[in-house]
Amino acid sequence: MSLFIRNILISLGITVLLIGTVTYAISYLNRARITELTAIEDQLSIETLSLETQFSLLETAPCETSASSTALSSELTNLDNRLSYTENQLGSDNPQVLQLKKQYSLLEIRDYLITKKLAAACKTKPVTVLYFYSNAGDCSECDKAGYALSYLRDTYPSLRVYSFDYNLDLGALKTFIAVTKVKDKLPAFVISDQHYYGFTTLEELEKQFPKGALATSTATTTVRQ
């Protein structure tokens, strides 16, 4: 066998090996993504059922015990982080990601409504933040606002934050936006029922909270961006 032919065969072998390796890696990553999406979907179903059960129980529970029972478990925070990671990997317009975001948004709305109802019944004042963002490239300040809220959540672990993609095609979310009277001016915040638009600095955002509210807030959830 001539040196020329042998070099060609070696090159061909290396090429086939590289193609095989890349194909296997892509297949492996796709399987991992599917597994992750399935796990998130299953967890969302469990958390939704758990929240519905909590709501039924809390309707008859005394305020002394229900006040500490309204927050979802820390698994919800982990779930949000996993969903954010999957969205970054597959893209915000991936059909499966969009479906999961819709389920998660419904879960957040449901928890928020429970919190409001219990606050009225038990005469408490939980500090809540509704945060509306956009992934459509039309909100230059949304990333910074999301990071600032994440910092506040980590600094004040009792703070309750709910974040929503303003442009998500979900009827319940559109109704929620209409009911809360949030304008299409992003990023948007509803802090203890007061509306604020735009973001400049973390310090300015902190000033929007009622005096002493961050030190006495009573629950915690998650921030998406």
Please give the pLDDT value at position 103. 83
Residues in the chain: 225
Q: How far is Cα 146 from Cα 11, in angstroms, rounded to an integer?
A: 49
Dmax over CA atoms of the chain, in Å, equals: 90
Most confidently modeled of 184-188, 190-194, 218-222? Answer: 184-188
pLDDT of 210 higher than 80: yes
Higher pLDDT, 37 or 160: 160
Q: Can you list the positions of beta strands (E) in 134-211?
A: 160-165, 188-191, 194-197
pLDDT of 165 higher than 70: yes
Contact 66, 118 (CB under 8 A): yes
Please give the pLDDT value at position 73. 45
Helix, strand, or coil (residue 185): coil
Domains of the chain (ranges, CATH numbers): 3-216 (3.40.30.10)
In 3D space, the residue among 118, 111, 94 whose CA is nearest the CA of residue 36 turns out to be 94
Among 83-87, 164-168, 169-173, 194-198, name the one with the lowest average pLDDT: 83-87
Output the 3-class SS for 98-110: HHHHHHHHHHHHH
pLDDT of 81 higher than 80: no
Higher pLDDT, 189 or 218: 189
Please give the pLDDT value at position 220. 45
Q: 190 forms bridges with which residues in the sheet? A: 130, 195
Q: What is the mean pLDDT of residues 74-87?
A: 69
Please give the pLDDT value at position 218. 44
pLDDT tens-digit series, residues 4-60: 566 666 666 677 666 666 565 555 555 666 676 777 777 666 766 776 676 667 666
Contact 90, 97 (CB under 8 A): yes
| pTM strictly above 0.85 | no
pLDDT of 219 higher than 50: no
Sequence-ordered alpha helix ranges (H) in the chain: 3-58, 63-66, 74-90, 95-122, 142-155, 171-180, 202-207, 213-216
pLDDT tens-digit series, residues 84-141: 777 777 778 888 888 888 888 888 898 888 888 878 877 878 888 999 999 888 999 9
pLDDT of 176 higher than 90: yes
pLDDT of 208 higher than 60: yes
